[in-house]
Amino acid sequence: MRGLAQYAMNGRRQAIIASVLCGIIPLVNMLSPALVGLVCLRHGPREALLVAAWAVLPLIGWASMGDLTPLVLMVGVTVLATVLRQAGSWQTTLLAAIAVGVGAEMVLRLRPEFLDLLQQQVSLFFDSADMPEQPEIPADVMRNALISVFGVIHMFAAICLLMVARWWQAVLYNPGGFQREFHQLRFKPGVALLLVLLFILASFGVTVLTGWVMYFLMPLFFAGIALVHGLVGIKKLSRLWLVAFYMLMLNPPLTQLLAVAALLDSFYDFRRRAAPPPDDESGIN
């Protein structure tokens, strides 16, 4: 991974070659947006657009065959990398990621044939699965659910790929920099409360926000992950604690508890409270 990033940073031609070749290979094509994101973080959006103009070519091919994900992520990661470079704030970037999720929804709505195919595949899965008989889900309910899930997955993936790009940048040019800024990720109280309010309104079916529940939870979810990483780092605990933490995250209800922890942290700053007191340099006992 580091070698790939190092090669891409040797020049524009190398960045184009790396991103295009990655874009051709299934699954590996997810790295193409991360490479363009790295170019954006290091050299700015103008250079990133010059590289992306070539990198999107194989992704357009995948989109024409029904796989929209790499192309959507290319746009999403480039936008988020631009926001992070300009604002220098993960809080702002995670809020901007909500627009990525909404944009992914719009793409799916504009491609009804792809949505129909996705709905058919899900229906076939439920029909073939050895599960107790369940009440039939209305077609419109399933379509709306699929659209929301599509947006949430792409929002999550765009954030993760941006973090890969930021980690590459730190490894190459600022060792330990990504870890430091991620461990410090914390929402301001007003912003955290606004996200919780929007989450509650969406949960109660407010028309404009219906289906956007997870969009408002996702930024706090990542802030909660940063909180856990930061506390483990401050306490110098074994990485096995992080392994156990991610295994617990396989239980979906715990993601909401993590968001609640991030909300509380915005007021109480648990990392500051957990940090050891600074050494007394005055010499007074």
Q: What would the pLDDT profile of 223-245 be if each residue is shown by its tens digit?
A: 999 999 999 999 999 989 999 99
Place of tokens 């970037």: 93
Look at residue 282 in the predicted model and tell me its pLDDT.
43
Provide the 8-state DSSP code for 58: H
pLDDT tens sequence across 181-205: 999 999 999 999 999 999 998 888 7
Reported confidence tier of residue 160, pLDDT bands at 50, 70, 90: very high
- Both structure tokens of 76: 């999403």
- AA letter at 153: I
Q: Comparing 27 with 154, which gets the higher pLDDT? A: 154
pTM greater than 0.95: no
What does the domain layout of the chain look like in residue ranges? 1-178, 184-276
Matching residue, tokens 């076939």: 124
Torsional class of 237: left (φ above 0), alpha (ψ -120 to 50), beta (otherwise)? beta
Distance between CA 163 and CA 72 in Å, rounded?
17
3-state secondary structure of 219: helix
pLDDT at 285 over 60: no
Quote the pLDDT of residue 217. Answer: 92
Distance CA 220, CA 258 (A): 8
User: Please, which residues have CB within 8 angstroms of residue 50's CB and are 6 or more apart in sequence?
Assistant: 12
Among 122-131, 161-170, 203-212, name the one with the lowest average pLDDT: 122-131
Q: Is the pLDDT of residue 270 over 90?
A: yes
pLDDT of the residue at 133: 58
pLDDT (average), residues 65-72: 90
CB 78 within 8 A of CB 33: yes
3-state DSSP percent of the chain in helix, strand and coil, to 5: 80, 0, 20
Which tokens belong to 21?
């070749």
Of 26, 35, 23, give the one whose Cα is nearest residue 78.
35
pLDDT for position 127:
64
Fold for 1-178, please state it: Arp2/3 complex 21 kDa subunit ARPC3 (1.10.1760)
Lowest mean pLDDT among 42-51, 102-111, 272-281: 272-281
What is the average per-residue pLDDT within 30-47? 96
pLDDT band at 128 (very low <50, low <70, confident <90, very high): low
User: Alpha carbon of 12 to those of 38, 43, 47: distances in Å?
Assistant: 12, 10, 8
Q: What confidence tens digit (pLDDT) does each residue in 76-121 have? A: 999 999 999 999 999 999 999 999 999 999 998 888 788 877 777 7
Backbone phi and psi for residue 215, each to the nearest 5 degrees, phi listed first: -60, -35
**Per-residue DSSP letter, 9:** T
Identify whether the C-beta of residue 12 lies closer than 8 Å to the C-beta of residue 26: no
Give the mean pLDDT of the chain.
89
Q: Where are the alpha helices (DSSP H) in 90-239?
A: 90-110, 112-128, 139-173, 177-183, 189-203, 213-235
Task: Specify burial of residue 264 (Cβ count, 10 A radius: 0-12, 13-18, 19+).
Answer: middle
Q: What is the reported pLDDT for 134?
A: 58
| Orientation of helix 213-235 relative to helix 253-268, angle to 10° | 70
pLDDT beyond 80 at 141: no
Q: Is 246 exposed, middle or buried (0-12, 13-18, 19+ CB in 10 A)?
A: exposed
